[in-house]
Amino acid sequence: MRPNVLLITADQWRGDCLGIADHPVVRTPNIDRLARSGTWFARHYAQAAPCGPSRASLYTGLYQMNHRVVRNGTPLDNRHDNIARAMRRAGYAPTLFGFTDQSADPRTVAADSPWLRTYEGILPGFDVAVRLPEDVGPWLDWLEARGHRRPKHFWEIYLPATGRSDRPTRSPPRYGADETETAFLAGCFLNWLDSRPAGEPWFAHVSFLRPHPPFIVPEPFNRLYDAETGPAFRRAASAGEEARQHPLLAYWHDRIRTDSAFLTPPHDSSAPRIAEWGDADFRLLRAIYWGMISEVDGQIGRIMDRIDALGSDTVVILTSDHGEMLGDHWTIGKFGYFDQAFHVPLIIRDPRRPGEGRVDAFTEAVDIAPTILELVDAPPISAADGHSLASYLEGLAPARPRDCVHWEYDFREPATGAAQAALGLDLDDCALSVIRDERFKYVHCNGLPPLLFDLAADPDELHDVSGEPAYQAVRLDYAERLLRWRGRHLDRTFSGVLLTADGVVDARA
């Protein structure tokens, strides 16, 4: 009997913000319970940011250099296989609750299609049970039915009860803890689950928005954590000193403003710069974010209680698309080359396997689709860059465990040209690639200077040593390793296929 599969993603969740990760403050009892009954991959990394590029890697098993979704709104080439299509071929009916943020290939839809005016497209292969895009229409319908006034603009639903603020605030929104969009989506999935025919295996993807901004959460989560507690921020003594590390960081210090994180109208160029905040602002923001995590943890617990009560064979995968800077390096959001934006949770529970508990080997988002397909005994995605992690669930290491991770970040702005103008770069020079292992992190930028961090001596990534004579051999070695990685993984769709007198030979079959 094939298992059920539940893929849960929570948006913008840092990998260190888990109780099981020994975070000194954050409590996630439900996720910890899931991890204790499965396998927690403690050093798991996303492949890209923001949401669209990262999810393209998660869904296709391809690095960004192959799927080429470089920004939110970049179309996903329809030629690429993905987890929904592969699971459908395996006999499942892939069902989505939430969003996938995969922009439509314009060659596959009519020229006047509404899907060409949004980055919030649906990954091909999914049936949509509930689509919850940025304007959260279905959630607003539900709130309205519960007696709430529908706001004129969708983002006003997040306004604090005390009114608009461009700084962190503990003021809750007008909806309660059982009325969040997380609770709404969890309820939709549970209603669907209750209606499933007995004995028919299913594959569902529940894609939660939170703890993505805006940074606001109802009682009691808004007051769950003391802003004065928690670890020290990983950053230089001042924002100005931090910005001198690299031109891209200086650009982001200028660009990251409060409009996207709080409740000023979106894209307000007059909104304050985050880098101008004081310590108290960052600490309060961090406490609110931790409360948002606990709110999502509660809804995941609600789902897991039902899954466990059914007693069915359900494989559960919990992860995130990318992390959150959360005040480190005087920034918020997700960008660039710092670990905080790319280290994310990954927990896999397969009730048919004992689970490893904790895995400290490096793993990547491109590994998730191959893992799911192996767990349901389905053929793999052809030429995927990731590899299955299923052996870890048996307590065994794969034949070639990773000794490093890679990610890419593209900061081009095709619509506005803002990054190109500010940094003096051509469109295709606005990109970087990262290789990170136990000791070093090397960042190769197409059109800007490289960076090298000695993580043993500088775990906070404050001192770029790429220009120091003592590190030149290291810099060359890691640049060559990055080049070998790219050479090994560049599009391999047919590179293992040969047409012969005896027919087609596929070396990867």
Alpha-carbon distance values, 434 to 69, 72, 355, 440, 479 (Å) = 17, 20, 30, 10, 10
DSSP character for 402?
B
Looking at the annotation, which residues are catalytic?
51
Let me know the angle formed at the C-alpha of 278 by 280 and 328, rounded to the nearest 5 degrees.
85
- 503 CB-contact burial (10 Å; exposed 0-12 / middle 13-18 / buried 19+): exposed
- Burial code of 258-287, b = ≥16 C-beta within 10 A, e = fewer? bbbbbbbeeeeeebbebbebeeebbbbbbb
Nearest to 86 by CA among 428, 381, 283: 381
Return d(Cα 36, Cα 375) in angstroms, integer.
19
Q: What confidence score (pLDDT) does residue 267 get?
A: 55
Residues of the chain where predicted confidence (pLDDT) is lower than 50: 264
pLDDT of residue 262: 61
CB atoms within 10 A of CB 329: 26
Domain boundaries 4-430, corresponding CATH code: 3.40.720.10
Q: Residue 311: what pLDDT?
A: 85
Distance between CA atoms of residues 365 and 322, nearest Å: 10
Domain range annotation of the chain: 4-430
**Axis crossing angle, helix 279-310 with helix 181-194, rounded to the nearest 10:** 10
Return the pLDDT at 165: 76
CA–CA separation, 475 vs 162, rounded Å? Answer: 52
Average pLDDT, the chain: 95
Residues making up the chain, counted from first to last:
509
Please state the pTM of the whole predicted model: 0.96
Contact (Cβ atoms closer than 8 angstroms) between residue 448 and residue 438: no
Q: What φ, ψ does residue 133 adopt, rounded to 5°? A: -75, -175
The sign of the CA dihedral 286, 208, 116, 66 is: positive
CB 119 within 8 A of CB 70: no
